[in-house]
Structure 1
Amino acid sequence: MKKRIEKSTNLDKYLKQIFFSKKDIHLLKMESRIKVNNKIINSDIFVNENDLLEIDVIKEEEIDKKPVFQDIKILYEDEFLLIVDKPAGIIIHSDGNKNNITLDSLVAGYYQSTNQKHRVLHVHRLDKETSGCILYCKQSYLISYFDNCIANNLIQRNYLALVSGTIDRAATIKKPIGKDRHINNKYRVSKTGKQAITFIRPLKQNSNSTLVKCSLQTGRTHQIRVHLQSIGHPVIGDTIYDGKRHNRLMLHSYQLSFVHPINNKQITVESKINYKTFNTE
């Protein structure tokens, strides 16, 4: 990672501004991974405008999840990032049941089979029943960058949902979401819940269902499912939230878009679906 200092300041202050944690700054210095104008820096110094900052974030680390060797679909990969296509019916990380295969364990298997040494660091999650794009960070020094992206809604996440009934216009659903106190692992619209905003736009109408694009401004658990139920159009296959029974939850994370932490380029990745199978008619 190379950056020109835009304004004179203290090095530590600048590193925090580009989203390195205090712990990471300390480790980067201890491991001699920071250079200013080609000189290794091990302490906080004053950096001047137009100084060249170089940070070596590429680091081999032991795989920290038990690997499972099974094919997974890779949507994007470089030295720093991995985006995989999660199938419906698989959880991201362990829920304590040793018999469950997780996406983390499949990624660990992929790393091992391709001779890569990285911790398994998923940036965000999807419900077990939801399919689509999941972003992994290969370099642990960059996870703070993605934590900031998630906290400030800087990763655009777009979904496709097949819902009951007819939706004929775009809408913004702005309703707070909280836990349902009576049913475990269920959420509901609640005045005392956390702010949640979902944008929806109809793409295709069938006789008794509508394919809609959903975009998140916030990322609450079950947000799309709760919001669509709240307007009378539950996701088909979502029996927790009054959806019609189907062989799967008809919710798919089809697109991720974000700024790459190293080259500052906009990365947009899509997970294609078969529209004929993503239908109930």
Structure 2
Amino acid sequence: LDQYTAGLLVIAHGKGTAAQLALQFASRKVIKQYMAVVQGVMEAPCAIDQPLDERTAMSSVTPLANNGRQTLVQVDIQTGRKHQIRRHLMHVGHPLAGDRLYGNDASVPLQLLAWHLAFDCPATGEPQVFRLNADQQLRLTQPGDLG
């Protein structure tokens, strides 16, 4: 995760486990979903296939709710490039709320939460799914209900 992104992390307890998890990430088998608050009203889902630093980078963004100034979105990333979500959302004209680097908004903390991770357990091969309650983690930059 970026330094200012909140949420779930996967931590391996051993070199073998780390290697197996790294293979899942490299083969894009890990499902990574984020919740974010973006500036402006995003009305339609979009797929972003915009290379970053000359490497493939793909994100899918789904608007969930808006308050006329901001939009709560779910972001699914198929790749994991540095600042991918931040840069992709800026590219489509909806920078993250609280993004000092790409959005020029220093009024609140970065509104980006890694809320869903799914992968296979390296030891058993069983599917593992972890989720956070995103509603309690994100704060709007302006008062108002996104629901």
TM-score by length of 2: 0.90
Alignment match, 1:251 = 112
* Identity %, equivalent residues: 28
Alignment match, 2:91 = 230
Pair 1:148-2:23 in alignment: yes
Kindly indicate whether the alpha-carbon contact (under 8 Å) linking 2:112 and 2:138 is maintained by their aligned counterparts in 1. Answer: no
Q: Distance in 2 between matches of 1:140 and 1:134?
A: 17
Q: Distance in 2 between matches of 1:229 and 1:245?
A: 15
Alignment match, 2:9 = 134
Q: Distance in 2 between matches of 1:141 and 1:242?
A: 39
Alignment match, 1:73 = none
Pair 1:272-2:147 in alignment: no
Amino acid at match of 1:168: E
TM-score by length of 1: 0.49
Kindly indicate whether the alpha-carbon contact (under 8 Å) linking 1:238 and 1:245 is maintained by their aligned counterparts in 2. Answer: yes
1:259 CA displacement: 1.0
Q: Residue by residue, what CA displacement relative to the aligned partner does 1:73-131 show, whole Å, maximum 9, x if unpaired? A: xxxxxxxxxxxxxxxxxxxxxxxxxxxxxxxxxxxxxxxxxxxxxxxxxxxxx111100
Structure 1 runs, 4 residues or longer, greater than 4 Å off: none
1:246 CA displacement: 2.2
Amino acid at match of 2:43: D
Match of 2:79 among 214, 218, 223: 218
Which runs of 5 or more residues in structure 2 are unaligned? none
Which runs of 5 or more residues in structure 1 are unaligned? 1-125, 179-192
Q: CA RMSD, aligned part only?
A: 1.4
Q: Distance in 2 between matches of 1:243 and 1:235?
A: 9
**Larger Cα-atom Rg:** 1
Kindly indicate whether the alpha-carbon contact (under 8 Å) linking 1:164 and 1:243 is maintained by their aligned counterparts in 2. Answer: no
